[in-house]
């Protein structure tokens, strides 16, 4: 599955260092791993000895609020999009970044398509596991398509209103 | 009116280019139809029964003359020479080819227009009172606020995949001409004790399968907090709204399931956390936008000539009684251009009429045209001493039917002639009704009486709030029309009630005629239909329609 990593402020096709581990399967001894929210809640105490990065996967109906105190222990939150219509995790990502100040990776998984990833990035996602069969290199161009944003979000892009009302010496033409 | 600056302009051009790429990927097969559908919907492109339909956004129903000319060019070049105005103050073209859609979006962008979010499960075009900025009863012109909402909601990254579509309406006046009670969010301008402007906020209205009137969620919201409050409502809805059942996914269902008090608690708790953020509107930006809605330079107009013409010409007198709205500027009037000639298709307009009307707008009304949610157009700033000339020009274009808010001013959706969701035709019913009822109105002066016809339960023509509502259903393979009485979308908003069993396509015109004739027997001195009905109840109508059965 192609992974686009936007962690450094530039989209790059990356090799995935992470393994998504199914419930009941053993965690790899040498690689960072993600587990489901349910498993995390059941095993979090037992996992305190592990010194490889850990991540948690949330399905679209699951709430990040369930594990807020655990966020400092987690290096990655994977938010799943089961289909093209379920937009709940756009909100989850913004809350993670803007309200809970999560600094690890926020990764979109599932039905992740080129034409949604720029909106996802604005909400705070910084890694995108594209749906199977999708071309990562051409998808990265999606981040360049729209250069004007009207509303504040989890990214740091100045909004149109902020650009318009800047002091004159900073104003950019257009 | 609002003119795009370089940023607005860049965004719509980039959006058109983006869609060109998406269409190319669809045509090459890189995108499946399932993947493409949400993208085309968010650019206004529907697949209908015979072709693609493109719905162009007309933010809060406001157009300048050049934009109307651009729409005429699109109608000629890419469609069959006409367009259809909708109850959401937008325009639809019914015969579009997918390959042409990117060029059309580019042409729109060049005219400062777009089709962004005119469909799909996202925030739709914000609608308002067609007499905004003109009406003497308004607290403040709502259009700057509608433009602020337009910008905030455009390509909103968090709210582009909501459980369902989301509609906001805003009224500047306590006399609601924007039907705010039947919108997901309704905003009514209000004044704070200290004189500042803000809004009374309503939530959870909507029609469709489960019609509901909105409930008040906040008595006063300061203007500067508008966007954070909207964002709080949308965030609660995005997280909590149902996604398992299409018919239960609108915010009205969430509000009624939680109860307005619990819903309010959730919204207020969220709002407390985001109120003090970059969403707070700053005075500079509000003023920048407000300045663009400043009233035009009015002239001193003479009223005497108007009165004299009314005496001389009864046809003109009749039209000016029906189709004028009083303007806050003395000597001016706002003119409603009826798109409802007897026997015509409600809301349809030809390219030739568009061009001619654009010229008339330039000549008589500061180059501005408005679309109403009853599918008519408005020239909002006409000198009274020029009304007679304007009326003659409109009459020669077949645009001077004197029937605003009267029985032939029928609101109808495209129905089974075009729409893939329809269960019955609505256009031919509207045409037959308007021909028949024009005569009765002529004889009896029926006054204000609205008829709305939807071709399926989605209720695009808002039949629940027509004084008489008609809903086209399908029963055992045949069209069956259900009639509701007593709806209203004005400040006395109410939902119509079903009168009894439905009528076939052959019976429906006679049934409506029976209702009207029955009312005439009950009517007390010039009463409106709605007021008589509220007084007598439905019994006389039921008896006339169904006898004792
Ligand atoms: S009410 Fe039904 S038939 Fe009419 S336009 Fe809406 S979806 Fe189509």
Q: List, as one string, the DSSP characters of B279-346.
A: TSPPHHHHHHHHHTTPPP-PPP---HHHHHHHHH-HHHHHHHHHHEEE-SSTTEEEEEE----TTS-T
Q: pTM to 2 decimals?
A: 0.94
Residues facing B497 on adjacent strands: B485
| The ligand 1 atom nearest the CA atom of B415 | 3
From chain A residues 55-94, the ones with a CB under 8 A of any chain B CB are 84-88, 90-91, 94
B330: closest CA among B264, B393, B365, B381? B381
- Tell me how far apart the alpha carbons of residues B47 and B213 are, in angstroms, rounded to a whole number: 30
From chain B residues 22-51, the ones with a CB under 8 A of any chain A CB are 22, 34-35, 38-39
What's residue A163's pLDDT?
A: 94
Residue matched to tokens 């609505």? B426
Separation of CA B456 and ligand 1 centre (Å): 5
> B238 to chain A, minimum CA–CA distance in Å?
6
What is the per-residue pLDDT across B257-294, written as a single tens digit (0 to 9) for each? 999 999 999 999 999 999 999 999 999 999 999 999 99
In the predicted model, what is the mean pLDDT of chain B?
Answer: 95
Instruction: Flag the least confident range among A29-43, A103-117, A132-146.
Output: A132-146
* Element housing A56 (H / E): strand A54-58
Residue matched to tokens 């399931």? B257
Separation of CA B472 and ligand 1 centre (Å): 9
A79, A88, A168, A172: best to mutate for the B interface, most B CBs within 10 A: A88
**Cβ of B421 less than 6 Å from ligand 1:** yes
Q: Is the pLDDT of residue A174 over 50?
A: no
Burial class (CB in 10 A: 0-12, 13-18, 19+), B13: middle
What is the per-residue pLDDT across B104-143, written as a single tens digit (0 to 9) for each? 999 999 999 999 999 999 999 999 999 999 999 999 999 9
Work out whether the CA dihedral A137, A138, A140, A141 comes out positive or negative.
positive
In this structure, what token pair is assigned to residue B526? 């010039």
A164: closest CA among B106, B140, B10? B10
B238 touches chain A (CB under 8 A): yes
Separation of CA B163 and ligand 1 centre (Å): 19
Interface contact flag, A150 B152, Cβ < 8 Å: yes
Chain A CB contacts of B11 below 8 Å: 146-148, 150, 160
What's residue A173's pLDDT?
A: 47
Of all residues in chain B, the one with the smallest CA distance to A121 is B157
Residue matched to tokens 């021909």? B435
Residue B256 phi, psi dihedral angles, 5° rounding: -75, -30
B278 touches chain A (CB under 8 A): yes
CB-nearest to B14 from A88, A123, A145 is A145
A62, A81, A89, A91: best to mutate for the B interface, most B CBs within 10 A: A91
A26: closest CA among A15, A17, A35, A16? A35
Residue matched to tokens 């007198």? B317
CB-nearest to A90 from B38, B158, B285 is B158
3-state SS assignment for residue B440: helix
CB-nearest to B10 from A118, A153, A174 is A174
What is the per-residue pLDDT across B288-344, written as a single tens digit (0 to 9) for each? 999 999 999 999 877 788 999 999 999 999 999 999 999 999 999 999 999 999 999
Chain B CB contacts of A94 below 8 Å: 158
Domains parsed from chain A with CATH numbers:
3-148 (3.20.20.70)
**Cβ of B456 less than 6 Å from ligand 1:** yes
CB-nearest to A164 from B38, B277, B288 is B288
Q: Is the pLDDT of residue B549 over 80?
A: no
**Cβ of B458 less than 6 Å from ligand 1:** yes
- Tell me how far apart the alpha carbons of residues A162 and B22 are, in angstroms, rounded to a whole number: 30
Percent of chain A at pLDDT > 70 equals: 95
CA atoms within 13 A on the CB side of B353: 21
What's residue B548's pLDDT?
A: 64
From chain B residues 116-155, the ones with a CB under 8 A of any chain A CB are 121, 151-155
Residues facing A20 on adjacent strands: A34
Burial class (CB in 10 A: 0-12, 13-18, 19+), B90: buried
CA atoms within 13 A on the CB side of B282: 12
Interface contact flag, A87 B279, Cβ < 8 Å: no
Domains parsed from chain B with CATH numbers:
6-110 (3.90.480.20), 135-291 (3.30.413.10), 304-396 (3.90.480.20), 411-546 (3.30.413.10)
Of all residues in chain A, the one with the smallest CA distance to B150 is A150
What is the per-residue pLDDT across B56-80, written as a single tens digit (0 to 9) for each? 999 999 999 999 999 999 999 999 9
**Cβ of B375 less than 6 Å from ligand 1:** no
| The ligand 1 atom nearest the CA atom of B416 | 3
End-to-end Cα separation, chain B, in angstroms: 57
CB-nearest to B284 from A87, A165, A173 is A165
B18 touches chain A (CB under 8 A): yes
DSSP, residue by residue, B423-465 = SS--HHHHHHHHHHHHHHHHHH---S--EEEESSTT-TT-GGG
**Cβ of B117 less than 6 Å from ligand 1:** no
**Cβ of B422 less than 6 Å from ligand 1:** yes
CA atoms within 13 A on the CB side of B293: 20
B7, B30, B41, B227: best to mutate for the A interface, most A CBs within 10 A: B7
Residues facing A27 on adjacent strands: none
Torsion of CA B362, B365, B367, B372, to 10 degrees: -130
Of all residues in chain B, the one with the smallest CA distance to A82 is B243
Q: Is the pLDDT of residue B458 over 60?
A: yes
| The ligand 1 atom nearest the CA atom of B414 | 5
B157 touches chain A (CB under 8 A): yes
Interface contact flag, B238 A147, Cβ < 8 Å: no
Of all residues in chain A, the one with the smallest CA distance to B156 is A151
What's residue B481's pLDDT?
A: 98
> A85 to chain B, minimum CA–CA distance in Å?
6
Chain B CB contacts of A85 below 8 Å: 38, 121, 161, 243
Separation of CA B427 and ligand 1 centre (Å): 11
Residue nearest to atom 6 of ligand 1 (CA): B460
Work out whether the CA dihedral B314, B319, B324, B329 comes out positive or negative.
negative
Separation of CA B132 and ligand 1 centre (Å): 28
How would residue A137 be classed by pLDDT, with cut points 50, 70 and 90? confident
CB-nearest to A90 from B5, B161, B279 is B161
Q: Are A28 and A21 in contact (CB under 8 A)?
A: yes
Q: Is the pLDDT of residue B242 over 70?
A: yes
Q: Is the pLDDT of residue A168 over 70?
A: no
- Tell me how far apart the alpha carbons of residues A114 and B26 are, in angstroms, rounded to a whole number: 13
What is the per-residue pLDDT across A52-110, written as a single tens digit (0 to 9) for each? 999 999 999 999 999 999 999 999 999 999 998 999 999 999 999 999 999 999 999 99
In this structure, what token pair is assigned to residue B180? 């705010």
Residues facing B189 on adjacent strands: B199
């Amino acid at each position: 599955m192609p992974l686009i990593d936007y962690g450094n402020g530039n989209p790059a096709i990356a090799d995935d260092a992470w393994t998504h581990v199914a419930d009941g399967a053993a965690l790899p001894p040498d690689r960072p791993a993600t587990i489901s929210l349910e498993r995390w809640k059941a095993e979090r105490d037992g996992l305190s000895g592990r010194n490889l990065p850990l991540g948690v996967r949330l399905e679209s109906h699951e709430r990040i609020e369930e594990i807020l105190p655990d966020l400092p222990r987690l290096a990655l939150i994977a938010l799943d999009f089961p289909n093209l219509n379920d937009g709940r995790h756009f909100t989850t990502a913004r809350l993670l970044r803007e309200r809970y100040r999560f600094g690890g990776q926020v990764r979109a998984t599932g039905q992740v398509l080129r034409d949604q990833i720029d909106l996802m990035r604005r909400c705070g996602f910084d890694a995108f596991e594209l749906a199977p069969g999708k071309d990562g290199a051409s998808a990265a161009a999606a981040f360049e398509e729209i250069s004007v944003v009207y509303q504040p979000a989890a990214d740091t892009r100045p909004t149109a209103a902020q650009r318009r009302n800047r002091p004159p010496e900073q104003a950019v033409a257009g | 009116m609002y003119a795009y600056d370089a940023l607005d302009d860049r965004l719509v051009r980039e959006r058109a280019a983006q869609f060109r790429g998406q269409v190319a990927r669809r045509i090459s097969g890189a995108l499946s139809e399932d993947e493409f559908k949400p993208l085309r919907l968010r650019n206004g492109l529907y697949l209908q029964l015979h072709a693609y339909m493109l719905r162009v956004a007309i933010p809060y129903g406001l157009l300048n003359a050049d934009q109307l000319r651009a729409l005429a060019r699109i109608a000629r070049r890419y469609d069959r020479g006409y367009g259809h105005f909708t109850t959401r103050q937008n325009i639809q073209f019914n015969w579009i080819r997918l390959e042409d859609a990117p060029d059309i979006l580019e042409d729109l962008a060049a005219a400062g227009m777009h089709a962004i979010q005119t469909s799909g499960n996202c925030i739709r075009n914000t609608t308002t009172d067609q007499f905004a900025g003109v009406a003497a009863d308004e607290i403040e012109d709502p259009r700057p606020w509608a433009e602020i909402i337009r910008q905030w909601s455009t390509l909103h990254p968090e709210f582009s995949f909501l459980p369902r579509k989301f509609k906001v309406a805003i009224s500047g006046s306590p006399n609601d001409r924007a039907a705010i009670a039947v919108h997901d969010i309704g905003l009514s301008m209000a004044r704070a004790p200290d004189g500042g402007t803000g809004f009374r906020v309503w939530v959870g209205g909507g029609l469709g399968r489960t019609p509901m009137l909105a409930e008040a969620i906040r008595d006063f919201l300061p203007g500067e907090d508008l966007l954070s409050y909207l964002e709080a409502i949308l965030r609660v809805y995005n997280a909590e709204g149902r996604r398992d059942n299409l018919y239960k996914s609108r915010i009205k269902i969430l509000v009624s399931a939680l109860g307005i008090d619990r819903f309010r608690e959730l919204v207020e708790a969220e709002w407390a956390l985001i109120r003090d953020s970059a969403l707070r509107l700053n005075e500079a930006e509000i003023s920048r936008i407000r300045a663009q809605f400043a009233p035009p330079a009015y002239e001193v107009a003479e009223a005497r000539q108007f009165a004299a013409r009314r005496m001389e010409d009864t046809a003109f007198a009749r039209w000016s009684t029906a189709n004028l709205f009083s303007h806050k500027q003395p000597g001016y009037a706002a003119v409603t251009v009826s798109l409802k000639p007897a026997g015509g298709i409600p809301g349809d307009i030809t390219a030739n009429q568009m061009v001619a009307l654009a010229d008339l707008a330039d000549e008589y009304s500061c180059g501005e045209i408005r679309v109403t949610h009853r599918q008519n157009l408005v020239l909002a700033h006409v000198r009274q001493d020029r009304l007679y000339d304007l009326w003659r020009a409109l009459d020669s274009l077949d645009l001077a039917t004197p029937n605003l808010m009267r029985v032939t001013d029928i609101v109808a959706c495209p129905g089974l002639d075009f729409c893939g969701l329809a269960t019955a035709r609505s256009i031919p019913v509207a045409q037959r009704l308007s021909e028949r009822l024009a005569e009765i109105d002529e004889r009896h002066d029926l006054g204000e009486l609205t008829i709305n016809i939807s071709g399926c339960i989605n209720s695009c023509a808002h039949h629940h709030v027509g004084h008489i509502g008609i809903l086209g259903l399908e029963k055992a393979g045949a069209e069956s029309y259900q009639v509701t009485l007593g709806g209203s979308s004005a400040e006395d908003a109410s939902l119509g009630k079903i009168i009894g069993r439905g009528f076939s396509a052959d019976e429906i015109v006679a049934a409506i005629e029976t209702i009207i004739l029955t009312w005439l027997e009950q009517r007390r001195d010039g009463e409106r239909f709605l007021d008589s009905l509220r007084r007598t109840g439905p019994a006389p109508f039921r008896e006339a329609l169904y006898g004792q059965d």
